[in-house]
Amino acid sequence: MSLPTPYYLIHERKLLKNLKLIKYIRDHSGAKCLLALKCFSTWSVFPLMRDYIDGSTSSSLYEARLGREKLGKEVHAYSVAFTQDEVKQVSQYADKIIFNSISQLKRYQNVAGSLEIGLRINPQISFSHFDLADPARKFSRLGVVDKKLLSSVKASISGLMFHFNCENDNFINFSSSIDFISRVYTDLLKEVKWVSLGGGICFTKKGYPIKKFTKLLKDFSDKFKVKVYLEPGEAIVAQSAELVTKVLDIVRNQADIAIVDSSTEAHMLDLLVYQTQAKINKSGKGKFKYMITGRSCLAGDVFGTYRFKSRLKVGTIIKISDVAGYTMVKKNWFNGLSMPSIVIKRKNGSLDLIRRFKYKDFLESLS
């Protein structure tokens, strides 16, 4: 199948590799795994994922509804701040609702109906590489800090959420964090039914000590007699997708600059947000050096600088790897650029064009 670029290409076989590892973790630790929809919401691959995960966790009403309608199974609803109407609507889709603050808990616990109620705790520790994404940063609004206030509402909650990791691939750091939580929140942990340890734990990364990880989760669960939840996003979809682009022009300004038919601002926003470079697997130690850039009007629309074994030319295909997480959920219509199509490479090798965005989509996203 000949497909016009740009497009996001999701590989089912690569996704399945992560999913099988998650099944191992679930089977050997007893923990449940919920897909973090804030990271990845491309529901066309949910049928493949459904047998390997326990449900979804959301950060908004719309994500909670998507999780119920497209994935099913268990749904956790969290928001930094709910409105009363959102809590009423969420109760139609979720099994558990997690409040970010004690004030929200007190205000809406009676509106939540029969939902199990949880509370997000800020243990004031994290191992984030970026202050922007650090839930324990100074003046963080994410979760309850005051331990004394927690005792006043413990009768109203059945679970706790500790979401304090961001791209943490260091097991020793994670283990020490669990020891800290176990020690500091002992009394509270003994009184709840379930604990979510959030996402941001890179346990599908090559070399991660899975057996030690599963034992740690099981020991924590057994110690406090709680059901443990994980909320992986990127850990589920890592290395499972790429953004396929094409070189439209090559210009020279003290360096060779290749302009592709995509954009960081519109199609890989996190590269700009965190000032990181895109991953291009087939570049390396070649002698031909190019800056790969996007075609938006943003001067800093740059994917990165790479070396290739042969010269690039107009029409050369450039594949940017590991793009599943926080890309499709953040894509936008900046400059009115053509939004990448979504394509799935099925397990049998066939390509399935799931969605092609057209002018009508651009038109109807505005008013």
What pTM did the predictor assign? 0.95
Query: Lowest-pLDDT range, 187-201, 281-295, 307-321, 322-336?
Result: 281-295
Residues whose CB is less than 8 angstroms from the CB of residue 256 and which lie 6 or more positions away in sequence, other chains included: 250, 288, 289, 290, 291, 312
- Kindly indicate the confidence band of residue 177, based on its pLDDT and cuts at 50, 70 and 90: very high
- Mean local confidence (pLDDT), 12-31: 98
Tell whether omega for the bond before 135 is within 30 degrees of 0, i.e. cis.
Answer: no
d(CA 274, CA 136): 17
Residue type, 85: D
What is residue 128's predicted lDDT score, i.e. its pLDDT?
80
Task: List own/partner pairs for 271-276 with CB under 8 A and 24 or more apart.
Answer: 271/303, 272/300, 273/132, 274/130, 274/132, 274/133
Please say whether the beta carbons of 239 and 207 come within 8 A. no
What is residue 1's predicted lDDT score, i.e. its pLDDT?
64
d(CA 15, CA 45): 9
Task: Cite the beta strand spans of 310-350 per DSSP E.
Answer: 317-321, 341-345
User: Distances in Å between the alpha carbon of 281 and those of 28, 184, 276?
Assistant: 33, 43, 15
Domain ranges of the chain: 13-237, 240-364
Does an H or E element contain 216, and which?
helix 210-224
pLDDT in tens, 214-226: 999 999 999 999 9
13-237 CATH choice from 3.20.20.10, 3.40.50.720, 3.90.1150.10, 3.40.50.300: 3.20.20.10
Does an H or E element contain 20, and which?
helix 12-29
- Mean local confidence (pLDDT), 235-261: 98
Please say whether the beta carbons of 202 and 234 come within 8 A. yes
Task: Number of helices (H) and strands (E) in the chain: give both, helices first.
Answer: 13, 16
Residues whose CB is less than 8 angstroms from the CB of residue 74 and which lie 6 or more positions away in sequence, other chains included: 32, 34, 54, 55, 56, 95, 96
Q: Please state the CATH superfamily assignment of the domain spanning residues 240-364 in this structure.
A: Lyase, Ornithine Decarboxylase; Chain A, domain 1 (2.40.37.10)
